[in-house]
Amino acid sequence: MKKLILFLLFAVCGFAAECDFTPVAVPESTPEAVSFYKSGNILWAIQLLWSLAIPALILFSGFGVRLRNFCQRITGIWLWKTALFALFFLLIVTVLTLPLDFYTSYIRPHSYGLSNQPLGRWLQHYLIGTGMSTGVGIILVWILYGVIRVSPKRWWLYFGLLSFPMTLFFVLIYPLWVSPLFNQFGPMQDKQLEQKILHLAYRAGIEGSRVYEVNKSTDTKAINAYVTGIGTSKRIVIWDTAIKGLSEDELLFVMGHEMGHYVLHHIWWGIAIQTALSIAILSLVYITGNRYVRKLGGWNDIASLPLIILLYTFYSFLLSPISNLASQKKEHDADTFGLELTHLNEAAATGFVKLQYNNLGYPWPGKLYMLFRASHPSIGSRITYFNTYHPWCEGKKGKYEKRFHAIIGE
């Protein structure tokens, strides 16, 4: 009876199939969006080269060996020597990347009107983020070289396998402990909209969730919403910019898309794919770095850390099309899920038109961009898909329709 009542509420809220919608044209890019796209490609290339140059400079200049010797003079205890080297290395990287980080995350978004974050707030977030990443980095270096000490020839496999539980742990704690450090997570102000989202979540098969509204407007003008967490950390999160910038139907489709990620277990698939890629990348690091690492005293020498970082960054770039294409496939499946769940084709398309204008999106990026930079399908292809995918209008069943009926008709 409870599920029947929720189904009726769902229907009353206006989620019945709508087949007479007007197709939405993909808008042309504004000159500002074209500039943002092209300059972003240049900036991405500079960041990539700089991320390779820093560990290469530390490695080939011999500074890494001198830093190791310095740490050994301070303490002969492996645990503290490793932590000191990791700390100094990460601090050096932070200092050398600070100007680029400042331009990328503060100056550039402000110059394009995408951010309203005060400088003091940016600095606060930067210091918190840097402190946390440094602490996590030291722990990861401890684990890495602990594994190397135990298995000098198979460390790449074991550490790669460990990336699965470590990533899972981060997914569990991030929404509970990390995100609230940067923004306020509170209950939704619009209770009627909250009920519609919960009804949508129930139909999608997500029960026991809580909806949070986040004050992201203090930092950005971008629009976003997501479903995250596992078990008790499960939550539906909506940026206040999305509530203000999208219509109710547009927001409901976005939530249906995000619910698709959760129901289709994309978090688990994503972790599994990244684990497999980590093993592949680390194996390449081991194979190609073996000859040079002998000059440093072997992989168990902490001075090999810049070499590992350099090679890992390089091979991550080479294999990035694999993770990007896999991510694009998951996003496409979530789009399908959201359309079948809501039948809000026109709202989906108009919502992404708003996203394109609001975020200075470029609707048709080049092939290299899609391979090496894009984790999502292009905005143009998504709007086109929203206009054309509606099997229910032809009396056909959707890809995920059985999931909804199984939940409701139980």
Question: Is residue 16 over pLDDT 60?
Answer: no
Q: Residues 230, 268: one domain?
A: no
CA distance 303 to 66: 9
Q: How confident is the model over 315-355, as pLDDT tens digits?
A: 999 999 999 999 999 999 999 999 999 999 999 999 999 99
* Mean predicted lDDT score pLDDT of the chain: 89
Question: Is residue 152 over pLDDT 50?
Answer: yes
Q: Residue 273 to residues 95, 284, 374: CA-CA distances in angstroms?
A: 32, 17, 16
Cα–Cα nearest to 156, from 303, 42, 286: 286
Asked if 27 contacts 357 with a C-beta cutoff of 8 angstroms, the reply is yes
Q: Residues 179, 222: one domain?
A: no
Asked whether residue 231 is assigned to any structural domain, the reply reads yes
Q: Residues 131, 280: one domain?
A: yes
| Backbone dihedral angles phi then psi of residue 205, each to the nearest 5 degrees | 95, 15
Q: Residues 364, 231: one domain?
A: no
Asked if 385 contacts 185 with a C-beta cutoff of 8 angstroms, the reply is no
Q: What's the pLDDT at 173?
A: 81
SS3 readout for 222-262: CCCEEEECCHHHCEEEEEHHHHHHCCHHHHHHHHHHHHHHH
Last residue within a domain, chosen from 243, 262, 281: 262
Burial (CB count within 10 angstroms: exposed 0-12, middle 13-18, buried 19+), residue 309: buried
Last residue within a domain, chosen from 209, 229, 262: 262
Which structural domain range is residue 49 located in?
A: 30-183+263-408
Catalytic residue among 213, 250, 258, 340: 258
Q: What's the pLDDT at 280?
A: 97
- Rounded to the nearest 10 degrees, the angle between the axes of helix 305-342 and helix 345-358 is 140
Asked whether residue 8 is assigned to any structural domain, the reply reads no
Q: Residues 304, 350: one domain?
A: yes
Q: Residues 314, 348: one domain?
A: yes
- Rounded to the nearest 10 degrees, the angle between the axes of helix 305-342 and helix 401-408 is 70
Q: Residues 133, 121: one domain?
A: yes
Asked whether residue 1 is assigned to any structural domain, the reply reads no
List CB contacts of 329: < 8 A, sequence separation 6 or more.
none
Q: What's the pLDDT at 233?
A: 66
Q: Residues 197, 211: one domain?
A: yes
Asked whether residue 11 is assigned to any structural domain, the reply reads no
Query: What's the average model confidence in pLDDT over 32-42?
Result: 96
Asked whether residue 238 is assigned to any structural domain, the reply reads yes
The two tokens of residue 128 are 């918190």
CA distance 244 to 217: 10
Residue 34's pLDDT band, with cuts at 50, 70 and 90, is very high
Q: Catalytic residue at 258? A: yes
Question: What is the three-class DSSP state of 38?
Answer: helix
Q: How confident is the model over 258-303, as pLDDT tens digits?
A: 899 988 999 899 999 999 999 999 999 999 999 899 888 899 999 9
Burial (CB count within 10 angstroms: exposed 0-12, middle 13-18, buried 19+), residue 55: buried
Question: Is residue 227 over pLDDT 50?
Answer: yes
Lowest mean per-residue pLDDT among 43-57, 123-137, 212-226: 212-226
Q: Residues 157, 94: one domain?
A: yes
Q: What's the pLDDT at 5?
A: 43
**First-last CA distance in the chain:** 10
Q: What is the tally of structural domains in the chain?
A: 2
Asked whether residue 9 is assigned to any structural domain, the reply reads no
Q: Residues 220, 273: one domain?
A: no
Asked whether residue 14 is assigned to any structural domain, the reply reads no
Q: How confident is the model over 188-223, as pLDDT tens digits?
A: 888 898 899 888 888 888 876 788 899 988 888 888
Question: Is residue 185 over pLDDT 70?
Answer: yes
Q: What's the pLDDT at 237?
A: 87
Asked whether residue 385 is assigned to any structural domain, the reply reads yes
Q: Residues 212, 269: one domain?
A: no
Q: Residue 93 to residues 90, 190, 309, 312: CA-CA distances in angstroms?
A: 5, 44, 11, 15
Question: Is residue 43 over pLDDT 90?
Answer: yes
Last residue within a domain, chosen from 262, 277, 308: 262
Pair type for strands 185-187 and 225-228: unpaired
Question: Which CATH number covers residue 219?
Answer: 3.30.2010.10
Query: What's the average model confidence in pLDDT over 12-37?
Result: 80
Q: How confident is the model over 57-102, as pLDDT tens digits?
A: 999 999 999 999 999 999 989 999 999 999 999 999 999 999 999 9
Asked if 224 contacts 241 with a C-beta cutoff of 8 angstroms, the reply is yes
Q: Residues 173, 189: one domain?
A: no
